[in-house]
Chains A and B, each alone.
Chain A
Amino acid sequence: MKQDLSASPTSASSTTRSSLSAWVHWFFSIENRYLAPMFITCILAAAQWSFGVLESYARTAFAIVTALVVELVVGRLFWGQWPHLASAYVSGISVGILVRSPAMWPYALGSALSITSKYVLRLKGRHLWNPSNFGICVMLLLAPDAVASLGIQWGNYLPPMLIVWILGSLIIWQAKRFHICATYVLSFVLFAYGRSWITGHPFLAEVAPITGPMYQLFIFFMITDPKTTVQTTWGQCVVAFLVALVEMLLRLHESIYAPLYALFLVGPTANLLEIWWHARQSATASAPSPT
């Protein structure tokens, strides 16, 4: 009996280790495009369960369903085949979380704008804006009476923030885009120090926004979007730095949604430059060599 008792923990511990190992193996074998939807769903579920962050279930569901339906219809019409819905799901859920409005229509409109922008605002086969960034920025700019963004809602407590940051970092590492987040966060902190020096406000006040929920979604889902970031690793780091720089300039002009607007400006500009650069290189390569 005694032996049994002493054997049990060893056995349990071994089982735990092997199941953990299996989980890690499973985790790192997941196809990248499923990671973001899974992660954002986990964040949403945890945030809603612990804090009730959503304006309402119905509004968030409305945003997601609209994104999926628009993607299905427009994708089918445009490409002649049913599109994969992972991207639309992330866009819909981002709109569902980030848009704050007492009305229902901004959720549908934000999602529809996000998805449609992918098909309309494109060049050389690439869409230029991160879809949800585009949809939310347009809503904030054109419908300020009806729409705000998630800025000060959600818990201000440390444990949930740490969990999201750790889990998010793991997933982004797996997706091989951790360098983008790291560059942005380091740049933000650096610029926060600069803003504190310029404005005379406490450093903690300047660094405070990055501890909030809007940034968790912004950092893990918007600036790392594979479809709307430049292709080289160093280029991605430069763009992340430039987003933080433009954000600082906007913050010095007291723009509340500075990160969203900074990405709105820098992201497509970087993409256009890269498209132009590639076109120039192709042209040079295909030009007849001088004899």
Chain B
Amino acid sequence: MLATAVLIAMVLVILALVLNIWRVVIGPDTTDRILALDTLYINSIALLVLLGIHMTSAAYFEAALLIAMIGFIGTTALCKYLLRGDIIE
């Protein structure tokens, strides 16, 4: 029961990842691509959490937390660059 649910959830999240990558490719603006990358890292955290349940291992949460932090910093830095032309003033 639970194993099937994890597999179905994985398929849904992978479909979401494919849609995000499609948006990264077609753009059309820089902000669209940044937004798609932002969603991409959130969905990859979801996939990592599902993998943790699938393999019954708690070791994936540190990776999920790291991806969450680095992804946020990346989005912020890219937006700052678009807004000001510089990241650290």
Answer yes or no: are A and B bound together in one complex: no
Residues of A within 8 A of B (CB): none
